[in-house]
Amino acid sequence: MKQIKLSGKSKLYLQALGLLALLVVLVGVVYKLAISQLPAQRVKFSEQIKKEETLRQKSEILKSLESAVLEQADLTSFAIPNKNSSFAVVSQLNKLAQENSVLITNLRIGTETKEANLSSSDLNFDVEGVSPSVLNFLQGIAGIAPITLTDKVQVNESLGVTRATVRLKAFWAEFPATLPAVSEAVSDLTPEEVEILSKIVNLTPPDFVYLEPQEPREKTDPF
């Protein structure tokens, strides 16, 4: 094998050029690593911070609402129940009729109509009494929960008795079946939602019978 003999000057040049080549290679490696790793890590970091911020916000909103939310949930559920509200509305109407000393007759409940996840049924009835009481009763309908909308009213007065023929709609909707994921953001109530909630607070909820829990007791005669 033939050996190439280099002069001292060439060796010095080769050493310097070798170092330069090494520098270029290392710069390339560092540049490639920086180009691939830095943006990926930055994206991961910003996503993680965003996730944390979402959760922090959610936690803060939930903590701030903790004290009032259950009561408000009850009120809104009274306003739009998850089951057919017609009978609850009838009960509320009877209560309102008693308060205003009027008589409800010819009550008819229509079949369910479903429209965009909101069910409704028509209620038709007559109300009899003295004129101011009937008018107060009609005005009071808008203040009961479950929510109703009065479609049509016809009032006639004869021999001192005022009779109103009323057609209204009672509404209900099924409760949501699933909860959003823990990591999903929640938003606080918007001013519009707060306004609706303040209207709901003023509605008269239906009366319920609460059964107190009882201690277990011995049944003397099992039959």
Partner 1 sequence: MNKTAPINLLPSQLVLKGKDKVLLEGLKKFVLIGFIILIAASLIIAGYLVYLSFRIRSSVGNEDVLKSEISSLQQTEQGLFLIKDRISRIKAVYAKESVDGQIATLTDFIEQVSGDFRISEIQISVQRVDLSVVFPSSSAFGLFYKSLIAADLYPDITLKTLSFNPSLGYIASFELSQK
Between 27 and 107, name the residue whose CB sits nearer to partner 1.
Answer: 27
Under rule CB under 8 A, residue 14 binds partner 1: no
Between 31 and 87, name the residue whose CB sits nearer to partner 1.
Answer: 31
CB of 215 to partner 1, least distance (A): 27
Under rule CB under 8 A, residue 83 binds partner 1: no
Q: Which of 109, 115, 155 is nearest to 136 (CA)?
A: 155
Q: CA 34, CA 47: separation in Å to the nearest integer? A: 19
SS3 122: strand
SS3 125: strand
Under rule CB under 8 A, residue 91 binds partner 1: no
Q: Which of residues 51-70 bind partner 1 (CB under 8 A)?
A: 51-52, 55-56, 58-59, 61-63, 65-66, 69-70
Contact 134, 102 (CB under 8 A): yes
Scan for tokens 């004129």, then name that residue. 131
Under rule CB under 8 A, residue 217 binds partner 1: no
Contact 86, 121 (CB under 8 A): yes
Q: Which stretch binds partner 1 (CB under 8 A): 91-99, 106-114, 134-142, 208-216?
A: 134-142
Between 103 and 155, name the residue whose CB sits nearer to partner 1.
Answer: 155
* Residue 88, C-beta contacts closer than 8 angstroms, at least 6 positions apart: 81, 146, 170, 206
Q: CA 163, CA 157: separation in Å to the nearest integer? A: 6
**Sole binder of partner 1 in the list 3, 111, 117, 198 (CB under 8 A):** 117
CB of 94 to partner 1, least distance (A): 19
CB of 139 to partner 1, least distance (A): 5
Q: Which of residues 135-194 bind partner 1 (CB under 8 A)?
A: 135-136, 138-139, 141-142, 147, 149-157, 162, 169, 171, 173, 175-176, 179-180, 182-183, 186, 189, 192-193
Between 187 and 220, name the residue whose CB sits nearer to partner 1.
Answer: 187
**# of chain residues touching partner 1 (CB under 8 A):** 81
Between 34 and 107, name the residue whose CB sits nearer to partner 1.
Answer: 34
Alpha helices by DSSP H, the chain: 8-79, 86-100, 131-140, 191-201
Question: Token pair for residue 196?
Answer: 């609706």
Under rule CB under 8 A, residue 130 binds partner 1: no
Residue 72 φ then ψ, to 5°: -65, -35
Number of H helices, E strands in the chain: 4, 4
